[in-house]
Amino acid sequence: MSVTAGSTPNSAWIKYWGNRNDALRLPMADSFSMTLDSPTVEITLDHADVLSVRSFNPDGSEKELGAVHIQRFGKTLELVKQYLRTLGVEDALPASALITVRSQIPPAVGLASSSAVFSCLARAIQGLILPAIELTDEQTSVLARLGSGSAARSIFGGFSALLAGESDAIGSAYGRQYADEHHWALYNVILVPSMHEKKVGSTEGHPTAHTSPHYAARVQAIRTRRQRECIDAVLTKDFEKLQHVVEEDCIDMHHVMRTSTPPLDYLTEDTHRITRDITELRRSEHLPVFYTMDAGPTVQLLCTEEARDRVLAFARAQEGCALFEAKTGPGACLIP
Ligand code: DP6
């Protein structure tokens, strides 16, 4: 029997950065995002005696996967088994699996492809083990988190959080949906100034967060105020409030990154120019648009339908940048 699932990345508005337990990806603070409708990843999961992973590019050609990537899938399956043991169904998952990944995500697009891949894998595992246990979406989001923290949020459509929890229990951090994809149609115009692979991946970056003298204040701000403000802004569709809190959190995360040991500076001159220019355009034309950046120079411009054409025109005028567009999406699902 084989199972196929599909999923997409998400746009992080309150950023997940730093763990209380790196091995289990138990975050220090909650995070929040909008799930996108594209680009998509499909994963087919088959029973197999040994772990093997095949990966195909958008053009259908097969991608050579490095040992590090294959090990990450193996490690994730091990952790998933560990979690399933706590639910009393450790044997639901076969000894090993053939994982076939078909990705429409251009390499180094600057959108966490790991969030799409591991939410997709989690949904496929949920489908594969259905005869033994019917996992809830929150439980499925734990499977996703064990592969990539941000992936826990892509299990759901629309607007969702990764709730950090408190204990060291493997299932203590999980995703939760606050509104589905029909609640609010927002557009994400994604500008990629550089297609070079990023130097330090998020997984290596998270453990450095604690070395920044500004990290404790960041965690405190999210716990006491920012996460709540972001959720409220989304639920009441208050775009201006959302703009303030998302940009504040983005600037704050990059401040923590730059002041960590070793310092991580993911933003380039292009990033700074684009954010400066869009801020000016927002002011002069009263445009509902805000920016956010993850662990790379890519700028995401989030806007409402009314601002979309203007933001697209702005984006097309950025020389040397690749351009992608996405909107609010439905999250990881099984493909019959
Ligand atoms: C800056 O989820 O990519 O994009 O768990 O190691 O895969 P791993 O980390 P990852 O970290 C995301 C970092 C971020 C912010 C976010 O998506 O919330």
- High-pLDDT (> 90) share of the chain, %: 88
From ligand 1's centre to the CA of 148, what distance in Å? 7
Choice from 72, 150, 267 to test ligand 1 binding pocket (greatest atom count within 8 A of CB)? 150
How does the average pLDDT of the chain come out, rounded?
A: 95
Residue 126's alpha-carbon distances to 72, 92, 133, 136, in angstroms, are: 19, 10, 8, 9
pLDDT tens digits, 196-254: 666 788 999 999 999 999 999 999 999 999 999 999 999 999 999 999 999 999 999 99
Q: What's the pLDDT at 87? A: 97
pLDDT above 90: residue 156: yes
Distance from C-alpha of 262 to C-alpha of 164, rounded to nearest angstrom: 25
Domains and CATH numbers, the chain: 3-182 (3.30.230.10), 187-327 (3.30.70.890)
Q: Is 26 helix (H, G, I), strand (E, B) or coil?
A: strand
Q: What's the pLDDT at 62? A: 93
Nearest protein CA to atom 4 of ligand 1, as residue: 294
Nearest protein CA to atom 1 of ligand 1, as residue: 294
Q: Average pLDDT in the 109-124 region? A: 89
The finding on whether 32 has its CB within 6 A of some atom of ligand 1 is no
pLDDT above 70: residue 277: yes
From ligand 1's centre to the CA of 254, what distance in Å? 13
Q: What's the pLDDT at 197? A: 63
Q: Which residues of 220-251 are buried (b: 16+ CB within 10 A; e: fewer)?
A: ebbeeebbebbbebbeeeebeebbebbbbbbe
| pLDDT grade for 146, boundaries at 50, 70 and 90 | very high
Backbone torsion region of residue 324, taken as left when φ is above 0, otherwise alpha when ψ lies between -120 and 50, otherwise beta: beta
pLDDT above 70: residue 39: yes
Q: Which long-range contacts (CB under 8 A, 24 or more apart) does 209-212 make?
A: 209/17, 209/18, 209/19, 209/28, 209/256, 209/257, 209/260, 210/18, 211/260, 211/261, 212/255, 212/256, 212/257, 212/259, 212/260, 212/261
Q: Is the peptide bond before 107 cis (omega within 30 degrees of 0)?
A: no
Q: What's the pLDDT at 110? A: 64
Closest atom of ligand 1 to CA, residue 203: 6
Q: Is the pTM of this model over 0.85?
A: yes
| pLDDT grade for 297, boundaries at 50, 70 and 90 | very high
One-letter amino acid of 135? L
Q: What's the pLDDT at 95? A: 82
> Which residue in this structure is represented by tokens 């607007």?
159
pLDDT above 70: residue 73: yes
Q: Average pLDDT in the 140-153 region? A: 98
Under 8 Å between Cβ of 300 and 318? no
Q: Is the peptide bond before 39 cis (omega within 30 degrees of 0)?
A: yes
pLDDT above 60: residue 70: yes
Q: What's the pLDDT at 200? A: 86
The finding on whether 28 has its CB within 6 A of some atom of ligand 1 is no
Q: What's the pLDDT at 52? A: 93
| pLDDT grade for 111, boundaries at 50, 70 and 90 | confident
Find, among 135, 94, 108, 80, the residue nearest to 2 by Cα.
94
From ligand 1's centre to the CA of 128, what distance in Å? 26
Nearest protein CA to atom 6 of ligand 1, as residue: 203
The finding on whether 259 has its CB within 6 A of some atom of ligand 1 is no
Q: What's the pLDDT at 273? A: 97
pLDDT above 60: residue 180: yes
From ligand 1's centre to the CA of 280, what distance in Å? 29
Q: What's the pLDDT at 196? A: 67
Nearest protein CA to atom 3 of ligand 1, as residue: 202
Q: Which two tokens stand for residue 32?
A: 């929040």
Q: What's the pLDDT at 122? A: 98
Q: What's the pLDDT at 105? A: 86
